[in-house]
Amino acid sequence: MAAMAVALRGLGGRFRWRTQAVVGGVRGAARAGQRDYDLLVVGGGSGGLACAKEGTRWGLGGTCVNVGCIPKKLMHQAALLGGLIQDAPNYGWEVAQPVPHDWRKMAEAVQNHVKSLNWGHRVQLQDRKVKYFNIKASFVDEHTVCGVAKGGKEILLSADHIIIATGGRPRYPTHIEGALEYGITSDDIFWLKESPGKTWHPTDVALECAGFLTGIGLDTTIMMRSIPLRGFDQQMSSMVIEHMASHGTRFLRGCAPSRVRRLPVGQLQVTWEDRTTGKEDTGTFDTVLWAIGRVPDTRSLNLEKAGVDTSPDTQKILVDSREATSVPHIYAVGDVVEGRPELTPTAIMAGRLLVQRLFGGSSDLMDYDNVPTTVFTPLEYGCVGLSEEEAVARHGQEHVEVYHAHYKPLEFTVAGRDASQCYVKMVCLREPPQLVLGLHFLGPNAGEVTQGFALGIK
């Protein structure tokens, strides 16, 4: 993980860089009563970068830039283009079908773009006089962090205020035989130089990856143990699954994997159990992609040495409405925080507001209610506010009214596309003036559509 140190503007517009001392042979330790920096940010993802810029194992950018939103959306776009190529003859374009897809070319282009973003972040930090350390950081005490560089060299950094923004890492199902040895995660799929081929996904969390893999012509199977897209509106989630199934993604329902082993021919054999019948079955695949959620990157931080409390269940950091941890001058933002949406824009805004409160005289707090989000499945699902289930649980069935409609996008007409899953619904309070509690949209460009509705609902 990265650490970034910021010296903020003092009187007269000058930067107050503080002299570092050498103590016990480790460079960077501060003299008693004096600290190196005003602000130290541990973590180089969206939240951490926002904190560092506002105040003044991948490259910079964290999950979103390197293994999340950016490469995912670009590969999703590659799959959408494949669908448009199939539509093209209906619009007069003479395109020989089928059109092959070159994974290597796509992956190289996506990876080059990600690397350009990494470099751009480094340049921006330099322009804003932010000192960037590419180190593995852990706490020594509540004001001091020890960083270890790739060569093993250690440095001590101290600061008046410390912000933790280390994000998360993919979870492996270590209880499944062969999972760690033969499987990859969503972090890996975007950096494969060769096509993953026939791919098996053990959970519906992998819907976005499975969607674009199917879209570029790969054989893709998803195993579902229970309900799809837990936490989202279940009617909308079911329609997402229906659309994917009708467009080539294979679903195994009510099944749980038990082991993975490599066959002599090099392929992977997955064994699973049907929870309904109790019978075992197997399948052969080129790639096993684990996408079963993420865990906070906190275990190596030595948070106990700083006195920072975490949730015993999730190991995420506990904070208050000001993003402050159990130690008043240590804060946390982003995916590493308990009870916060795991969304890049919220981490960015939370980081900016936090630094403005610390150094800009602001009192504005982050508002985590009605944050819009989009699931980039082949037919995109965007939503803001409460699901129908949440609205009923909170207000009671008799107090909830749902307005809904199917629709057909104009671009589907000439191409003869199936629009049976294009759908929008609005969850409201029944009593006038019928306050809108949630908006759910399934169809092309759902992210852009949802943004507009989110402003109105907010």
How many residues in total does the chain contain?
Answer: 458
CA–CA gap between residue 151 and residue 230 (Å, rounded): 43
Alpha helices in 101-203 (DSSP H): 103-127, 179-182, 186-189
Three-state SS sequence of 98-113: CCCCCHHHHHHHHHHH
What pLDDT is attached to residue 126? Answer: 84
CATH class, range 372-456: alpha beta
Mean local confidence (pLDDT), 4-28 = 37
Question: Does the fold of domain 372-456 match that of domain 1-10+34-170+293-368?
Answer: no
The CATH superfamily of 179-292 is FAD/NAD(P)-binding domain (3.50.50.60)
Higher-pLDDT residue of 34 and 285 is: 285
CA–CA gap between residue 187 and residue 68 (Å, rounded): 8
Contact 395, 402 (CB under 8 A): no
The answer, yes or no, to whether residue 227 has pLDDT greater than 90, is no
Nearest to 51 by CA among 71, 67, 33, 37: 37
Mean local confidence (pLDDT), 349-377 = 95
Backbone angles phi, psi at 347, to 5 degrees: -65, -40
* Range ranked top by mean pLDDT from 60-69, 118-127, 136-145, 168-177: 136-145
What pLDDT is attached to residue 6? Answer: 54
**Chain CA centroid to CA 196, Å:** 21
Higher-pLDDT residue of 59 and 166 is: 166
Residue 203 buriedness (CB in 10 A; 0-12 / 13-18 / 19+): buried
Residue 197 CB coordination number (10 Å): 13
**Chain CA centroid to CA 105, Å:** 25
What pLDDT is attached to residue 120? Answer: 85
Residue 288 CB coordination number (10 Å): 21
CA–CA gap between residue 8 and residue 258 (Å, rounded): 54
CA–CA gap between residue 71 and residue 192 (Å, rounded): 12
The answer, yes or no, to whether residue 59 has pLDDT greater than 80, is no
The answer, yes or no, to whether residue 418 has pLDDT greater than 70, is yes
What CATH code would you report for 1-10+34-170+293-368?
3.50.50.60
- Cα of first residue to Cα of last residue in the chain, in angstroms, is 35
pLDDT band at residue 17 using 50, 70 and 90 as cut-offs: very low
Report strand pairing: 294-296 vs 280-285.
unpaired
Mean local confidence (pLDDT), 241-269 = 96
Tokens of 433: 């003036």
Higher-pLDDT residue of 151 and 425 is: 425
What pLDDT is attached to residue 223? Answer: 92
Tokens of 298: 């906190």
Q: Where would I find the beta strands (DSSP E) of 25-105?
A: 26-27, 37-42
Nearest to 135 by CA among 124, 122, 147: 147
What pLDDT is attached to residue 1? Answer: 60
What pLDDT is attached to residue 148? Answer: 92
**Least confident range of 15-19, 85-89, 427-431, 440-444:** 15-19
Domain positions in the chain are 1-10+34-170+293-368, 179-292, 372-456
What pLDDT is attached to residue 235? Answer: 97
Contact 62, 167 (CB under 8 A): yes
Sort residue 266 into left (φ over 0), alpha (ψ -120 to 50) or beta: left
The answer, yes or no, to whether residue 92 has pLDDT greater than 90, is yes
Tokens of 87: 């539509």
Q: How far is CA 303 from CA 63, 129, 298, 308, 410, in A?
A: 22, 28, 7, 5, 54
pTM beyond 0.85: yes
Contact 144, 29 (CB under 8 A): yes
The residue type found at 179 is A
Mean local confidence (pLDDT), 254-269 = 95
Backbone angles phi, psi at 165, to 5 degrees: -145, 55
Residue 230 CB coordination number (10 Å): 11
Mean local confidence (pLDDT), 38-45 = 88
The answer, yes or no, to whether residue 383 has pLDDT greater than 70, is yes
Mean local confidence (pLDDT), 348-357 = 94
pLDDT band at residue 218 using 50, 70 and 90 as cut-offs: very high
H-run or E-run covering 439: strand 436-442
CA–CA gap between residue 173 and residue 291 (Å, rounded): 10
pLDDT band at residue 23 using 50, 70 and 90 as cut-offs: very low
Average predicted confidence (pLDDT) for the chain: 88
pLDDT band at residue 205 using 50, 70 and 90 as cut-offs: low
Contact 174, 280 (CB under 8 A): no
